[in-house]
Structure 1
């Protein structure tokens, strides 16, 4: 029996989505092959050994609190996971860790570095790929250097003076303002006038010291999932058709009618081949591993422009990553199994 440390929750604004992703992965683990060890991370950064029933009943709108009496968990370099029982730290053996953490202090290389120091194999990208995938500004620089098109943007740090007229002259209107290190469209604002820019920056700076102002791109929103291997595989492409101003947090997770998901996307065979090859290239350029979902804009003139990569994409029931693989012939359970095999180094 393989013991799987399922690491979820976290301190980012995507805490609730992480819980939902972990809940679905827990349900998909084969009970004859895997023994789940769910470890919840509170918003304050405490690690606890969570009850299986707690996780199974969690919902994104109303999370049960981590209650006193649960077993605290820690990571010890070269020793792995330990749990505090009867005032003594005891080994908490796991064979592999599945970090289902979205956003900073989970998807950005911090936890990956901790697990590496502890000698624990884990699903997904390592320290470098995770950090690069999280920081959208660094990601864009590397992709540009590799010759992969990205949208026009400007980067501003908290406290930096910003002239709205200069920004608009460079990028036009509307623009999108977003934290450089976050996901799930948290902290993102669509700005239509010069007067709206400063409040949008202040909002984004609440989540990150570095903020991007991106030119609005006219194009279809296409997503492609990557599963690592020799070579990495790309799924069929899917299309998101937002029913709001953009694909916001509410549209993704709270509004059942927030977006239309078209799978597979209405693309020609040549266009599918193009986006699959480009997605694998993005995955490799950014030093990713295990899994990833690459988001694109497909413009009317046939240009593919990268929006971003997600190194730990959502695993909720409505998330595109597992849906795209299911459409490509890999079920949710088989996908989870394959990711764990990759982490363990199985052929």
Structure 2
């Protein structure tokens, strides 16, 4: 069987020439027997923006083939599991409260928001909510939408007189549909995509077009309106060959029961195609085949795997080509002819063509270059789904929320679909809206969009897994424990999620100041001398006190934002400092203080593998406000310190700090981004202080300010980070 995809593309163009209403290419029943995947790709390339199928399995097959355009399944079986469809972003039909409740329950369990189309019965009486049930359905749908469990993308119905779009019953159905839209709007469901028109009405009844036209049989070349031609081009051609011949005398019978008797002596040819391949046996007494430039009758009954042609006196040769049906431009039988001979319609002929007949496709020339930006965004390539994690069970929860808000507000919506996911201080994952709108985002609004899971059922560990499974890229804007210590990275690695930033090993090293010092000092970088104390009882020995001297800093080994850090200028203050640090971590560092300037360097990795360091920034404490750069000085007291951008350093020292920052990044195995902090001993000798593998992105954070001073905007940073993560996933790096 041959499928001319050029015909598919031309038929889409014919509709686009008749109307500027967006088109849904209906590819149910394996694209009416033509091959759903190939037809879908061709139709989308020619200008369709949606795909329609009958069942979820058909939609899933399209997704498995890599097709990312919006897909609506028209039917949903009672009790059917929709989890996979939700994860694949397949739009679901809702015809009853039971459908709606089951979809909302599954969405809640998975932590997703279901895209649904509400179906109303306007007179077809085959599917859809009855008018008496419609108000309750739209009210409940609106409530679930406010809960973030569903989004009502569309409202639809189907017409009864599909081949007679001007029938009076059609106008009555459209009146009912308008009333259904009005009732939905009263419930708060305004501005939804309305669609009623199918193949015929889309051409002949402008009132029925609304926001989308569902094109079925016409896509494959079946004229949509009886008695009128729009120049649609049939796409399917069925060929076979003669596999045996024989001369039979006049009056002799053929096949079982000799139902066919030859009118005169002539040749019969056995053709290798039968009713198992889609030829309707009911057409046996009337069907014709195209052989040697003319139509010849089918002799007798069409069998399972073969049929017989009466060639008369013209003669036949084994191997001769037979045209069963085609476009008809040579005079050969058409699908419409076979439908008439069998007493059925063209759709049945096309969809009955069996799978044992191999398909050969003639490619179409799609016109992707002619797509508008809106069309490209709507149907492909699909924007990567970016999930931004923020919050988390650490002392840096508020800082993380601020970082998340900044990132979400600056991600380019033309490039990414963005979903915020808050992790509560108790560790609960709370998904926000599926496609957060573009524009500024503030921490308070972000938190309000992700209400506490104590008020919602089903937000357990399944939600975390579903969130990660539904993301193309995860941005873990989490600071401190769980966010930067390798815990969430391990979870993401376990489920195969693609994410921004360092992996487990580098996150563990970066978070643990003791381990980072050991690795970097072994590699030749200068670090301040230190002693590690484990457990609640270990103390600093006299020899260690003598070696370190005063002053010292006492630090939790695995904490960020200077939480739990204390300066000790007299040994009598050591017990209190140890208690403060141990409240954050059982591993504690007592570190020799370095007298000098404090300098930070931002590091960014690009998708092509380049690792670039910014010019250093210097943090200068305001005299008399804070003893050192603690949490308050960083986030709460904007007068505690000032930042010099760039730091006033000579070119050689600037280059050395940038080189050391990249070296530390590479040695520790970091990815994506980091901020590397140094102390400049006596103003000349760089000493590694610590590394932050996911620095803050709040408006006051140094990381983004350093890059902004270098002329690198935040949106460019985010593009680089996401591109680097995707490059690692695809093996391009």
CA contact (8 A) 2:600 2:677 kept: yes
**CA distance in structure 2 between the aligned counterparts of 1:168 and 1:149, rounded to whole angstroms:** 20
Residue 466 of structure 2 is matched in structure 1 by 82
**1:166 offset after TM fit, Å?**
4.2
Residue 39 of structure 1 is matched in structure 2 by 421
The correspondence for 1:232, drawn from 611, 614, 627, is 611
Alignment pair present for 1:124 and 2:531: no
Q: How does 1:196-345 map to 2 (within 5 A)?
A: 196-229=573-606, 230-243=609-622, 244-300=626-682, 302-345=684-727
**1:197 offset after TM fit, Å?**
0.3
CA contact (8 A) 1:164 1:194 kept: no
**1:165 offset after TM fit, Å?**
4.4
The correspondence for 2:479, drawn from 87, 102, 105, is 102
TM-score using structure 1 length: 0.90
**1:164 offset after TM fit, Å?**
6.5
**CA distance in structure 2 between the aligned counterparts of 1:163 and 1:223, rounded to whole angstroms:** 30
**CA distance in structure 1 between the aligned counterparts of 2:627 and 2:457, rounded to whole angstroms:** 43
Helix, strand or coil at the partner of 1:341: helix
CA contact (8 A) 1:48 1:73 kept: no
The correspondence for 2:559, drawn from 165, 182, 188, is 182
- Structure holding more strand per residue: 1
Residue range with higher mean Cα deviation, 139-148 or 9-18: 9-18
**1:69 offset after TM fit, Å?**
2.5
**CA distance in structure 1 between the aligned counterparts of 2:587 and 2:402, rounded to whole angstroms:** 28
**1:57 offset after TM fit, Å?**
4.0
**1:74 offset after TM fit, Å?**
4.0
**CA distance in structure 1 between the aligned counterparts of 2:484 and 2:523, rounded to whole angstroms:** 23
Deviation per residue, 1:115-168 (Å, 9 max, x gap): 111111100011111111111000000011000000011110122331464443
Deviation per residue, 1:258-282 (Å, 9 max, x gap): 2110000001111111111111100
**CA distance in structure 1 between the aligned counterparts of 2:512 and 2:650, rounded to whole angstroms:** 32
**CA distance in structure 2 between the aligned counterparts of 1:130 and 1:341, rounded to whole angstroms:** 20
Helix, strand or coil at the partner of 1:236: coil
Residue range with higher mean Cα deviation, 218-227 or 156-165: 156-165
Structure showing greater radius of gyration is 2
Unaligned runs of 5+ in 1: 84-90
**1:333 offset after TM fit, Å?**
1.3
CA contact (8 A) 1:81 1:94 kept: no
Higher relative contact order (CA 8 A, sep 6+): 1
TM-score using structure 2 length: 0.44
Helix, strand or coil at the partner of 1:72: coil
Alignment pair present for 1:58 and 2:440: no
CA contact (8 A) 1:49 1:71 kept: no
Helix, strand or coil at the partner of 2:559: coil
CA contact (8 A) 1:176 1:188 kept: yes
Helix, strand or coil at the partner of 2:459: strand
Unaligned runs of 5+ in 2: 1-382
CA contact (8 A) 1:326 1:332 kept: yes
**1:34 offset after TM fit, Å?**
1.5
Residue range with higher mean Cα deviation, 35-44 or 158-167: 158-167
**1:56 offset after TM fit, Å?**
3.7
Going from structure 1 to structure 2, the CA distance change for 1:289 and 1:75 (only over 3 Å counts) comes to farther
**1:216 offset after TM fit, Å?**
1.0
Residue 69 of structure 1 is matched in structure 2 by 456
Deviation per residue, 1:284-304 (Å, 9 max, x gap): 111111001100011225111
CA contact (8 A) 1:75 1:118 kept: no
Count of residues paired in the alignment: 335
**1:92 offset after TM fit, Å?**
5.9
**CA distance in structure 2 between the aligned counterparts of 1:323 and 1:170, rounded to whole angstroms:** 38
Residue range with higher mean Cα deviation, 163-172 or 14-23: 163-172
Going from structure 1 to structure 2, the CA distance change for 1:70 and 1:317 (only over 3 Å counts) comes to farther
**CA distance in structure 1 between the aligned counterparts of 2:394 and 2:668, rounded to whole angstroms:** 22
Deviation per residue, 1:179-203 (Å, 9 max, x gap): 0001100011111211110111011
CA contact (8 A) 2:402 2:442 kept: no
Residue 522 of structure 2 is matched in structure 1 by 145
